[in-house]
Structure 1
Amino acid sequence: LRFSQRKDLQYYQADIAGPSGGNGNGYIHAIQQQAAIGYTWTITPSSLLDVRFGFDHILAGKVPPYLGGPSMQQLYGLPGLPTSSNLTGGLNSQSVSGFSQFGRQTSNPQFQNPTSFNPKLNYSIIKGRHAIKMGYEFVDIRTEVLDVNPLYGADTYAGQFSKPTCAELGQATGCPITSDATSYNLADFIFGLPSTIQLGNNFVSNLRQHVHSLYVQDDYRVSSKLTLNIGLRWEFATPLWERDNNWTNFDPTTNTLIKATNGSLYNRALVHPDYKDFGPRVGMAYSFSPKTVMRAGYGISYSFFNRVGSAQEGINAPQALFGIVTQSIPNGVVPSTFLTTQNSFTTGLNSPANFNPITSNIDYIPADTRWPYIQSWFFSIQQELTHDTVLEVAYNGNHSLRLPIIADYNQAYPNQLTATCNATVQSGCLGVLARRPIPGFGPITWLDPAGDNDYNGLSTRFEHRFSGGLYFLNSFTWSKALGDSEQALEYFAGYVEANPQNIRNLHAERGPTSFDVEFMNITSIVYQLPFGRGRKFGSNMNPVFDAIAGGWELNSINTANTGNPIFVYYSPSTANDVTGLTNDYRGEAFLRPNVTGSGISQSKGAMINNYFAGYTFTTPPAYAPFGNEARNAFRAPGLEQWDLAADKNFRIHESIALQFRSEFFNVINHTNFGVPNTTSTSSAFGTIRTTYPARQIQFALKLLF
């Protein structure tokens, strides 16, 4: 019987301290409890039965600072926002375009609490040259998840409503007005004129999934030189369902939402179960000589979603509501329905009675969706050069199919080229809603199982095993990762979307994946200086001298790799937009521009001010909003870093030692530049204003007993 518990509690400070801030992650917690029990029965000298049961429970999430404090009604007299203590506290989200966000982070609070039960049974038997294993495993996964946001409301000020009209300035129609978007957005905030108002309902989903696995494997020793590994695994993972049938899916044949009911697995999950997931595996090892070994293998494995969120049907309308109101002041006339900051949440945005498929989160997973699978293969040759030194050359590859591509199933068609909607005139261009193919619905989050990714890598490993006080390892990889599907939550500087810009042309999305690093070399060295007691020199050294000069160990890690892929994007106008910005995981409404030219070689000093020198980027017209730039067409700067550590143990007693550690990160203080600004419509486009950490030195004492 084994039990373990791990707690990880961290606090992330907001940009602005105090109740007016809070836009950071706040208090993040991850508490894990694990228990396992097992029994092994030796049936005969050549066979045994192993029975195990595992339990895993995780509480993971975040809560904002000041949670449980006075409500917005008590503090500022704003009605319509939650008043229960599990949601109140601090200022709600106030986002002024061009400025740091005020108030609470929009996705806070949030949690995901999975619990799993895992019994398994394994039987092993040895018959002659065959070592046969077979078994069964079952996993029961239960996940409690809160992933609706913003739960405390969010106002966005990006409409420039305070910008005067020509008539207000006493000028003729069409007069030039100096545009200072940042100032006008700030004025909107001061006057309480939000352009977007959002509020979600406090809905907790209780998701369920079962996974069954059967396997058989035979390790067959054909001869003293050749060993074969042959196996087959069958897995059946149910589609997810919700404990109380709070589960809906979009039906494209009727353009309606269908709701889960009791009955069959399909009735509850609204996706047909997939019973045909067979994973064969075959491997071999052949010894040409005692010093030369060749290994190869091939296998198929499956990926079952157990990360849940708003791209799953459990966080779907009408049970989970992401209420949103987008406001405008056409022709300078304020509509009677316009909501100010003071009354922006009085309309019941998150009330089920006000469910609107145009503004709510709608999910669609095709009913015939099958689980993604990965074909993996490898080939390697390992050569012993000396008694303690090995050289290995290997090739690894995989091909992933049926990966989920998260996109907008109801993506709008581009505007048509007309006399009033063209490269210079946009007065006649239609908005996003008017161009959607399915009327009556806004964006529809689509888990399209069409992703196709490849990875191929050649690697070498030179290793000198620890002897004579020295350990040396050098690993080099030359690889290429290509595909059209990204992880749904992928987000880092220079890469901000997982969705395709055009769902009707997935071929244009194929390119390097966000994690593609073409070249990587890592050199690791551990060297025990040969001075001091128990070392080559000074084994009888005076204890005082030994305490100073003896027993030192040096550790060195040098890393050098090329940069990750990045792409240039532009923030589309309403005329160019084809999806809109909503609270889900389709990424952002960023599109790629047109690009011409080719890169030029330049110094680092010039690079940080014009990273894309030699290229020309232009924003496409509304009738052709998808630019010709390929996905991930550029590379961020690479990384070169040397880390060094010097350690020494001071023996206090036979079983007690004090370890002194000195660690130097980026010891030569090499400047590694960050990612350039990749927004082509930004005044800072192409500039690099960030770097990776400079040299850092830290000292530590550790008591070992």
Structure 2
Amino acid sequence: MNSTQERFNQSQLYRNRKFTINDVWSINSNWVNDLRLQYAYYSLANQNPCSTCPQDVTIVDLGQVTVGPGDNQYQKQNTYSVVDNLSWAHGKHTFKFGGQYMHFIYPQFFLSRSNGDNWYKTMQTLVNDLEPDVRGRTLRNAGSGFFLGTQSAMYGFLQDDIKVTPRLTLNLGLRYEYWTNPVGDETQALNAISSVPGVINFGIPKTDKNNIAPRVGFAFDPTGSGKTAIRAGFGIYYDVKFQNFASITLPPQLQSELDPASACTLTPQPSWCATHTNFLAGGGLPATYIPPATQADARALTTSYIDDTVMPKVLSWSLSVQRELYHNSSLEVRYLGTRGVSLPVQYRRNRTSYFDAGGAVLPTFLNPSSIPATWNANTPTDVGYYNFDSNIYAPFGFAANVTSDPPYGSSTYHGGSISFTQRAFRGLTLNTNYTYAHAIDNSTNEFFTSLLNPRRAEDTNRLVNDRANSDLDVRHKFVLSLIYELPKTTTGNRFLKALLNGYQISPVFLGQSGQPVTIQSAVDSNGNGDTAGDRAVFNPSGTGQVSGDVFPVCELPGGTTYVGTTSFLSADLNGCNANSSAPFGFDPAIGYTPVNPGDRYVIAGAGARSTIGRNSITTPGFGVLNLSVFKNTHISETKYLQLQAQVFNILNHPNYSLSNGNVFSNAGVVTATTTQSYVLPFDPNFLNPKVFSGGIRSITLGVKLFF
């Protein structure tokens, strides 16, 4: 983690080693066996630079800025692999079959939120040291962070390339993959005491054995001249389920996650539970792990569930036409489509929304003239919202969020590209490509690698409502790269020849459209106990890209209404006037209205429904020109020295867009991609592209010796 404060700078230590033994045996002219034995070692260690620092705090009205160190982490992975492939050429057929066995010894340690995550709506709440008031986001883990990720993988395949005619080749293949679950998954059985028959069963997760992957394709020369090729193919591919899903979901017998509600069920209670004041002074969420002694304790501390393994699957198909234009040059037009299924989605199993439970939606009166002057007994209010308990497992004694990663996600990608390639010709090598593509999915950010996109759906029970442009959707992309070797000088002077020859110039231009982000409210609008996915309200009468907070529309006992003068985000509850005889001590709200009726985007208050779709806003695109210059000086026939000068963004043109062209960045890095201010309607930097880095010019000089 990078920071201007030294105590928050976090070091990372990586180590890698790889060894390979390869034996290729030509049995005869038709049979060839390829055997590979491989070993790889990898380790990573992060250290918390300030273990005595206060707990991490996030302040919503300051753009969700977070202050605090990261968590300790280490992992070591020893990988052993045996691969054996056998090829047989027989007539028109070229058969290839073989397999691979891999074994991973993978101990790791990571205790997420070990320092506590405390979320405050306002800086004032933090200054007053009140209990953090952002529902579902104040959490702390305690206990063991050790997870044994040891597992094995086995692959087998058959492939036949058939030369049907001199101009047509058919490719047929079948592959099977099997992965064991990480050994650490078995720790879920330690929590069997928390099982509820017919509701949730804490046992050892099952492996996925149904991973058959057929492949089919062809290559066709329509003219027989060898200058045109038509290729097409279809295949099914499987991905590995990340161990992160299991390693951060240990049972309460090893690790527990506390929020304010579950912390106050402990005996003894934290001192702040009685008054909800002096939160940090009273130690905040406790870090002391207390093993559950009874079924009631175990259920109250259960925070996770590991589903039976279903490997993520991608169906992929493509069609391309390639044509040689002239010597060493070709043009290719290509279409690629993919369909992803069984993708992991972060899901809080025990939560349902107020709306799913039949709760009435409170209106957002975008036009102040539409606010009713009176109310009646049938007018819904926010009392039902505040009385609602989203925890459907509460009757069984579960107090915290029970989070899992079931295979509910799906994606679709369609892309068309045109590429021109000029291989080395008179010192020039050129590649250029333009791609138009559209990526759609219902989840991308389950590891929270972007703060500009939600990590969970607004309502996971209605995942279809989150199907939209993917976080990774880049609609247009153009790349031009070339390498030009300057003509050689034939002077007889040896010194001048060495000085004037061996130069290469390589400019690269990259331009692409922006990526989608989601306008978020940071308010639990739908009452499911989670602010992560809740979006804002769109005002069609609003102008520009302005946004803001809302006032509550409140009811008086006499049957009249009034607009509160305290905005929702600044209020202790709903922003209505204090009323000791009313539920929760304030007049009920019957809806909301923008603080500024001209705002195009406003937050969705408690019990209001958002009207903006996921990823409905696109950040600015960018274009950058880089230049590299190389000077190669031969020392001998087998050795040469290369001097390098590389200039990134040589024109020093500011690109106020997402860094590196995507929304993802290293966790904890303090850059524009890790602030939510760009997508929060109440923030002064809302949709202001200058919160992103402009990408200043940088120059790198280097020397390499090749031998």
TM-score of the pair, normalised by structure 2: 0.76
User: Map of 1:665-684 to 2, 5 A cutoff?
Assistant: 665-674=648-657, 677-684=678-685
Rounded Cα–Cα distance in structure 2 between residues aligned with 1:252 and 1:562: 50
1:277 aligns with 2:242: no
User: Map of 1:32-181 to 2, 5 A cutoff?
Assistant: 32-65=16-49, 89-95=51-57, 97=59, 98=62, 103-105=68-70, 108-151=71-114, 153-154=115-116, 156=118, 158=120, 181=122
Q: How many residues align?
A: 596
Alpha-carbon offset, residue 41 of structure 1: 3.6
Alpha-carbon offset, residue 286 of structure 1: 1.0
1:572 aligns with 2:523: yes
Q: Contact (CA 8 Å) 2:415, 2:438: kept in 1 or not?
A: yes
Alpha-carbon offset, residue 461 of structure 1: 1.0
Q: Which residue of 2 aligns with 1:74?
A: none
Q: Which residue of 2 aligns with 1:205?
A: 147
Alpha-carbon offset, residue 502 of structure 1: 0.7
Change (3 A) 1:119 1:96: closer
Task: Encode CA deviations 1:530-572: one digit per residue, 9 max, x unaligned.
Answer: 2xxxx2xx31254454455443221010111101111111111
Q: Which residue of 1 aligns with 2:386?
A: 430
Q: Which residue of 1 aligns with 2:626?
A: 643
Alpha-carbon offset, residue 357 of structure 1: 3.7
Task: Encode CA deviations 1:496-521: one digit per residue, 9 max, x unaligned.
Answer: x2321112221111111111111101
Q: Which residue of 2 aligns with 1:472?
A: 430
The one-letter amino acid of 2:57's match is S
Rounded Cα–Cα distance in structure 2 between residues aligned with 1:505 and 1:51: 49
Alpha-carbon offset, residue 313 of structure 1: 8.0
Q: Which residue of 1 aligns with 2:513?
A: 562
Rounded Cα–Cα distance in structure 1 between residues aligned with 2:376 and 2:83: 67
1:663 aligns with 2:613: no
Q: Contact (CA 8 Å) 2:630, 2:644: kept in 1 or not?
A: yes
SS class of match (1:659): strand
Q: Which residue of 2 aligns with 1:265?
A: none
Q: Which residue of 1 aligns with 2:467?
A: 510
Q: Which residue of 2 aligns with 1:522?
A: 479
The one-letter amino acid of 1:571's match is A
The one-letter amino acid of 1:95's match is V
1:622 aligns with 2:606: yes
Unaligned runs of 5+ in 2: 265-271, 363-374, 546-596, 659-676
1:14 aligns with 2:34: no
Q: Which residue of 2 aligns with 1:299?
A: 235
1:182 aligns with 2:123: yes
Change (3 A) 1:422 1:210: farther
Rounded Cα–Cα distance in structure 2 between residues aligned with 1:217 and 1:614: 64
Change (3 A) 1:237 1:197: closer
SS class of match (2:408): strand
Q: Which residue of 2 aligns with 1:411?
A: 351
Q: Which residue of 1 aligns with 2:693?
A: 691
SS class of match (1:227): strand
Rounded Cα–Cα distance in structure 1 between residues aligned with 2:413 and 2:699: 37
Rounded Cα–Cα distance in structure 1 between residues aligned with 2:405 and 2:281: 38
Rounded Cα–Cα distance in structure 1 between residues aligned with 2:117 and 2:468: 37
Task: Encode CA deviations 1:187-226: one digit per residue, 9 max, x unaligned.
Answer: 429xxx7776734113311133332222111111112111
The one-letter amino acid of 2:274's match is P
Change (3 A) 1:487 1:56: farther
Q: Which residue of 2 aligns with 1:31?
A: 15
Change (3 A) 1:453 1:13: closer
Rounded Cα–Cα distance in structure 2 between residues aligned with 1:431 and 1:552: 74
Unaligned runs of 5+ in 1: 1-11, 67-88, 160-180, 260-268, 581-587, 603-612
The one-letter amino acid of 1:597's match is P
Rounded Cα–Cα distance in structure 2 between residues aligned with 1:420 and 1:544: 97
RMSD: 3.5
Q: Contact (CA 8 Å) 1:420, 1:428: kept in 2 or not?
A: no
Rounded Cα–Cα distance in structure 1 between residues aligned with 2:678 and 2:180: 43
SS class of match (1:505): helix
Give the number of the structure with larger relative contact order, counting CA–CA contacts within 8 Å between residues 6 or more apart. 2
Q: Contact (CA 8 Å) 2:142, 2:287: kept in 1 or not?
A: no
Rounded Cα–Cα distance in structure 2 between residues aligned with 1:186 and 1:445: 31
Alpha-carbon offset, residue 376 of structure 1: 0.8
Given the alignment, which residue of 253, 258, 268 partners 1:318? 253
Change (3 A) 1:694 1:589: same
Change (3 A) 1:618 1:631: same
Alpha-carbon offset, residue 425 of structure 1: 6.1
Task: Encode CA deviations 1:327-365: one digit per residue, 9 max, x unaligned.
Answer: 99xxxx982796654552796742213755445422241
1:540 aligns with 2:491: yes
Rounded Cα–Cα distance in structure 1 between residues aligned with 2:644 and 2:77: 38
Alpha-carbon offset, residue 185 of structure 1: 1.8
- Could you say which structure has the higher helix fraction? 2
Change (3 A) 1:461 1:103: closer
The one-letter amino acid of 1:42's match is S
The one-letter amino acid of 1:275's match is K
Alpha-carbon offset, residue 318 of structure 1: 3.1
Rounded Cα–Cα distance in structure 1 between residues aligned with 2:493 and 2:378: 87
Task: Encode CA deviations 1:54-85: one digit per residue, 9 max, x unaligned.
Answer: 2223212311226xxxxxxxxxxxxxxxxxxx
Task: Encode CA deviations 1:560-610: one digit per residue, 9 max, x unaligned.
Answer: 11011111111115x754234xxxxxxx624111214399999xxxxxxxx
Q: Which residue of 1 aligns with 2:538?
A: 595
The one-letter amino acid of 1:572's match is V
Task: Encode CA deviations 1:640-673: one digit per residue, 9 max, x unaligned.
Answer: 0111122222445555544322222111122211
Identity score, percent: 21
- Could you say which structure has the higher strand fraction? 1
